[in-house]
Amino acid sequence: MDNTQLHVAIVSSPGMGHLIPVLVLGNQLATHHNIKITILAITTTSSSSEIKFLKKSNEKKTIEIIPIPSVDISHLIDSTTKVITQLRLLVREALPGIRSGIASMNHRPDALIVDIFGTQIVSIAEEFNIPKYVFHTTNAWVLALFIYLQVLDQEIEGEYVDLKQPLEIPGCKALQPDDVVDPMMDRSDQQYHEYLKLTMEYTCFDGILINTWEDLEGETIKALRSNEKLQSVLKVPLPIYPIGPLRRTIEITERDEVIQWLDNQNYESILFVSFGSGGTLSSQQMIELAWGLELSQQKFVWVVRPPSDGCPDSAYLNSNGSHTHDTFKYLPDGFLTRTKDMGLVVPMWAKQAEILSHSSVGGFISHCGWNSTIESLTNGVPMIAWPLHAEQKMNATMLMEELGVAIRPAVLPTKKLVKREEIQGMVRILMDTKEGKSTREKAKKLKISAENALSEGGSSYNSMCVLVKDIRPK
Ligand code: UDP
């Protein structure tokens, strides 16, 4: 064992949307900076995708993965407990496992990085006197809101969603009340209080890593670093490291059914449809989407999971990768037969990063989770933004209004059913009009901008080097 090698432990909280970027970060630090990486992965018992993914990631042996035994929180929750509260409980209950994981390491980590929902681990880092960093797996605008929420909580009375004016975030684009993140939608729910605590815990860290890059969010990054109001919330100025976009290295080793099908399609002719690791539609919305796709006559690959009425994030902590043919029974009668030459319907889970990197894919109907957004942008694929939960409405607004790489339904899909005619129209615009072409060109420019940020001397490359230098014991 080489105890002179820098050692960083990274904790991932439950959910594929957290595990994936943590593994990418770990791999980058190990491969490009010769750092020993140990990932402490808190998983959920019910997510077979997480378990499969961990097994596969462990095969490469570039990093060590210690799965933290999943904890049973069923006695602490009921059917009304929201996702953020559950995530916080899962992490809280996993703290003893994380503590003993760190205590048993012969080579004590030089730094501990936790993801967005791992902030409760701060006390363990303090106990072992290890410098601690938080990895904000989404963008800088959401981070600015996170930091400023403590002030908004003091200054604003009543529900944020009832405000008539946008919420001002110093130095950043204002936030429309309709776009607030899920936990801010009901201030009386436990989830809001957990979220608020989480944002306060951010200020206890030694630095914040963000999965974004200067060219994408320059103004917001500048505000995070120098806006007095934001800095005063942080009390001591915190280093901000924009190290994104973190993306998986795609090696298509086995050409599964979907990839083989894509191999036989025309360049940029396929629309990919997927709502992240746990997004679900209502049964009615699923039927309208199916009809919209069919009417558009656009070729597609659609990852379908059973609908859930009224709870778009219901599968988030339960993303089961098994082949559930039952899923198809929720589609309109005859849909699969009528569209058999037009599209592929994949139950539950597909290799999204591989699909988006395929040259036949030319558009993406996405829930705008930040990982999906990054996977789309780094492949130059424009989007139809279909936000469902978490911070996705903010992401969708940024993609459409600021970056011009997406179009979206007239009314938020979580508020009103998006009808088949509107879906048909959006698909046509994205895949087959000048407007669609212009969004595609902008997405391709961002792909280049991302590559520049990551290449030697680029902003994110440099930021990662500064982080490594800061972590290295003096
Ligand atoms: N993902 C995948 N296959 C699927 C659904 C999701 O590989 O069928 C991956 C996707 O590529 C992304 C992650 O799961 O890396 C989802 O993260 P995101 O932040 O987009 O959304 P979340 O699932 O956290 O809502």
Question: What mean pLDDT is reported for the chain?
Answer: 92
Catalytic residue among 115, 179, 189, 215: 115
Residue 54: what pLDDT?
73
Task: Give the three-class secondary structure for 406.
Answer: strand
Residue 155: what pLDDT?
96
Cis upstream peptide for 109 (omega within 30°): no
- Would you call 432 a catalytic residue per the annotation? no
Q: Read off the pLDDT of each residue in 172-201 and give the average, rounded to a whole number.
A: 96
Share above pLDDT 90 across residues of the chain, in percent, rounded to a whole number: 81
Q: Read off the pLDDT of each residue in 82-110 and give the average, rounded to a whole number.
A: 93
Asked whether the predicted pLDDT for residue 458 surpasses 80, the reply is yes
Residue 253 CB-half CA count within 13 A: 3
In single-letter form, the type of residue at position 453 comes to A
Residue 236: what pLDDT?
80
Find the Cα–Cα–Cα–Cα dihedral 422, 423, 426, 431, rounded to 10°.
Answer: -150
CB 118 within 8 A of CB 204: no
Res. 313 pLDDT band, cuts 50 70 90: low
Q: Read off the pLDDT of each residue in 82-92 and give the average, rounded to a whole number.
A: 93
Give, in degrees to the nearest 5, the angle at Cα 428 between 424 and 431. Answer: 135
Residue 71: what pLDDT?
83
Lowest mean pLDDT among 260-274, 314-328, 375-389: 314-328
CB 119 within 8 A of CB 206: no
Task: Dihedral sign for Cα 212, 214, 215, 219, please.
Answer: positive
Token couple for 201: 């815990």
Residue 60: what pLDDT?
67
Asked whether the predicted pLDDT for residue 378 surpasses 90, the reply is yes
Asked whether the predicted pLDDT for residue 288 surpasses 80, the reply is yes
Give, in degrees to the nearest 5, the angle at Cα 317 between 316 and 322. Answer: 85
For 198-353, strand residue ranges (E) read 208-210, 240-242, 270-274, 300-304, 343-347
| pLDDT per position as a tens digit, 220-243 | 999 999 999 998 898 788 999 999
Choose which residue among 16, 52, 248, 389 to substitute to test ligand 1 binding: the one with the highest number of ligand atoms within 8 A of its C-beta: 16
CA distance 267 to 362: 8
Q: Which atom of ligand 1 is nearest to the CA of 279?
A: 25
Res. 278 pLDDT band, cuts 50 70 90: confident
Residue 44: what pLDDT?
75
Tell how far the Cα of 243 is from the centroid of ligand 1, in angstroms: 20
CA distance 298 to 293: 7
Tell how far the Cα of 372 is from the centroid of ligand 1, in angstroms: 6
Lowest mean pLDDT among 44-53, 121-130, 352-361: 44-53
Asked whether the predicted pLDDT for residue 148 surpasses 90, the reply is yes
Lowest mean pLDDT among 182-186, 204-208, 305-309: 305-309
Instruction: Please list, in sequence order, all residues whose beta carbon lies within 8 angstroms of the beta carbon of residue 401, skipping any fewer than 6 positions away.
Output: none
Q: Read off the pLDDT of each residue in 308-326 and give the average, rounded to a whole number.
A: 63
Q: Which residues lie with the beta carbon below 6 Å from any ligand 1 atom?
A: 15-17, 20, 274, 276-279, 303, 349-353, 369-372, 375
Res. 314 pLDDT band, cuts 50 70 90: low
Tell how far the Cα of 366 is from the centroid of ligand 1, in angstroms: 10
CA distance 362 to 364: 7
Alpha helices in 156-282 (DSSP H): 190-202, 214-226, 228-234, 257-263
CA distance 468 to 29: 8
CA distance 241 to 474: 19
Q: Read off the pLDDT of each residue in 343-354 and give the average, rounded to a whole number.
A: 94
Res. 309 pLDDT band, cuts 50 70 90: confident
Residue nearest to atom 8 of ligand 1 (CA): 349
Token couple for 63: 């990093």
CB 265 within 8 A of CB 299: yes
CA distance 298 to 300: 6
Residue 187, CA distances (Å) to 15, 116, 360 in order: 24, 20, 44
Res. 431 pLDDT band, cuts 50 70 90: very high
Q: Read off the pLDDT of each residue in 403-429 and give the average, rounded to a whole number.
A: 96
Residue nearest to atom 21 of ligand 1 (CA): 369
CA 78 to chain centre: 26
CA distance 319 to 311: 14
Residue 263: what pLDDT?
96
Res. 362 pLDDT band, cuts 50 70 90: very high
Residue 300: beta bridge partners? 271, 343
Predicted TM-score (pTM) of this structure: 0.94
Residue 241: beta bridge partners? 209
Q: Which atom of ligand 1 is nearest to the CA of 392?
A: 25
Residue 440: what pLDDT?
98
CA distance 227 to 284: 45
Choose which residue among 372, 373, 393 to substitute to test ligand 1 binding: the one with the highest number of ligand atoms within 8 A of its C-beta: 372
Residue nearest to atom 15 of ligand 1 (CA): 371
Q: Read off the pLDDT of each residue in 402-411 and give the average, rounded to a whole number.
A: 96
- Distance from first CA to last CA of the chain, Å, rounded? 21
| pLDDT per position as a tens digit, 31-82 | 999 999 999 999 876 666 676 777 777 666 789 999 887 788 999 999 899 9
Asked whether the predicted pLDDT for residue 168 surpasses 90, the reply is yes
Residue 53: what pLDDT?
72
- Would you call 18 a catalytic residue per the annotation? yes
